[in-house]
A and B are shown apart, each in its own frame.
Chain A
């Protein structure tokens, strides 16, 4: 009973955090389950993959209805990610893992610098999210970012899918900067769009873990309940939070990923 409540609480915080920032929450769940609860890494990864879907559906149920998630852009980028994931290892075949991790550390650091620069500019974003309708079809009402620098964003999505199996990243930590910094969408829309789409990315992988019997229902059950509740709360909270704070929070996540990747590049 006690452990189940703790697991649900851990899930709640991961779901809330994930929904707020467009991440799957795996960034929190895997370290929590392995370090705080002492579960093996495979168990933690399987649980985290199922929880990515709970974060995504919990948040997107709200974000798609309110028009914060750009379903069209999300699906377009997803086509790149899925192709990347299925042809996985192409990039990895050319580069050793350490080099790849090092490149990603640099990329994440560059992203952090760009986000920090964006923070220094006076942000007209607070109102902009409300003015843009991310759910508008293509045409005169379409949000202006949707086709802006789409080719590099697609290429980025492909690479993200391609290396995700190897580096364990490739979800929100890459999608949000792609949509926000490269394509120029407000961070609120970038987060909601990423939230919507990471569930689709995780579906095939989570199914594979489930069908192999790698998902432990005794652990995943309580965690996923917490995650779904947290994500539902997080999506609502995200509508009221200042985009500036979202960007600052996200900056820390990006820096954290950069440090992790740097450790993998130069560590033992």
Chain B
């Protein structure tokens, strides 16, 4: 599962680096704005949206790592930690779902 963390970090930071480099090359200095929610930002195809895509991948990494841990605990038959990890994952999913619903409710 440490591999999930390493790959997630490297991949997301690689994408952010490309986005930042393109932003600098394009001469788009300063803040790039935060309008329209992240899907709109990514779909716009600007350098800033590449950065946002990388950030999204970074945010997903700890969740992917939890899934990897869950699989490892199931394989090893460590029941206590299968339960603990499942609880954390389910509650995290609830948080993400709430955030998504609220963002739509607010028109973000």
B12 to chain A, nearest CB (A): 8
Q: Is B74 an interface residue (CB 8 A)?
A: no
Q: Which residues of A contact B102 (CB under 8 A)?
A: 208
Residues A61 and B6 in contact in the complex (CB < 8 Å), given A50-B55, A213-B37? yes
Q: Which residues of A contact B55 (CB under 8 A)?
A: 50, 210, 215, 217, 220-221, 224
Q: Do A82 and B88 touch (CB < 8 A)?
A: yes
Encode contact with A along B60-97: 1 for CB under 8 Å, 0 otherwise.
Answer: 11110110010000001010110011011001101110
Q: Do B92 and A82 touch (CB < 8 A)?
A: yes
Encode contact with A along B14-26: 1 for CB under 8 Å, 0 otherwise.
Answer: 0011011001100
Residues A207 and B99 in contact in the complex (CB < 8 Å), given A75-B85, A78-B88, A212-B37? yes
Chain A's interface size range is 35 or more
Q: Do B59 and A76 touch (CB < 8 A)?
A: no
Is chain B's binding surface mostly helix, strand, loop or mixed? helix
Residues A199 and B61 in contact in the complex (CB < 8 Å), given A82-B91, A207-B96? yes
Inter-chain residue pair count (beta carbon < 8 A): 175
Q: Which residues of B contact A58 (CB under 8 A)?
A: 9
Q: Do B31 and A199 touch (CB < 8 A)?
A: no
Q: Is A57 an interface residue (CB 8 A)?
A: yes
Partner of A200, one of B1, B39, B54, B88: B88
Residues A138 and B78 in contact in the complex (CB < 8 Å), given A53-B61, A64-B5? yes
Interface centre among A64, A83, A86 (most CB of B within 10 A): A64
Q: Is A218 an interface residue (CB 8 A)?
A: yes
In the docked arrangement, what's the CA distance between A190 and B87, Å? 22
- Which residue of chain A has the shortest Cβ distance to B24 in the bound complex? A1
Q: Which residues of A contact B63 (CB under 8 A)?
A: 200, 203
Q: Which residues of B contact A215 (CB under 8 A)?
A: 34, 38, 52, 55
Residues A221 and B20 in contact in the complex (CB < 8 Å), given A65-B2, A76-B84, A210-B52? yes
Q: Which residues of A contact B85 (CB under 8 A)?
A: 75
Q: Is A228 an interface residue (CB 8 A)?
A: yes
Residues A61 and B16 in contact in the complex (CB < 8 Å), given A75-B85, A217-B48? no
Q: Is A79 an interface residue (CB 8 A)?
A: yes
Partner of A217, one of B51, B59, B69, B78: B51
In the docked arrangement, what's the CA distance between A204 and B103, Å? 13
In the docked arrangement, what's the CA distance between A138 and B5, Å? 23
Q: Is A71 an interface residue (CB 8 A)?
A: yes
Q: Do B92 and A200 touch (CB < 8 A)?
A: yes
Residues A225 and B91 in contact in the complex (CB < 8 Å), given A53-B61, A213-B34? no
Q: Do A79 and B78 touch (CB < 8 A)?
A: no
Q: Do A75 and B16 touch (CB < 8 A)?
A: no
B98 to chain A, nearest CB (A): 8
Q: A61-B5, A82-B87, A213-B35 are in contact. List 7 more A-B contacts (CB 8 A).
A: A53-B59, A72-B81, A75-B81, A76-B84, A214-B34, A215-B38, A217-B52
Q: Which residues of B contact A (CB under 8 A)?
A: 1-2, 5-6, 8-9, 13, 16-17, 19-20, 23-24, 28-41, 48-49, 51-52, 54-56, 58-63, 65-66, 69, 76, 78, 80-81, 84-85, 87-88, 91-92, 94-96, 99-100, 102-103, 106, 108
Q: What are 7 A-B contacts defined by CB distance under 8 Å?
A: A64-B1, A75-B69, A138-B78, A203-B92, A213-B108, A217-B19, A221-B19
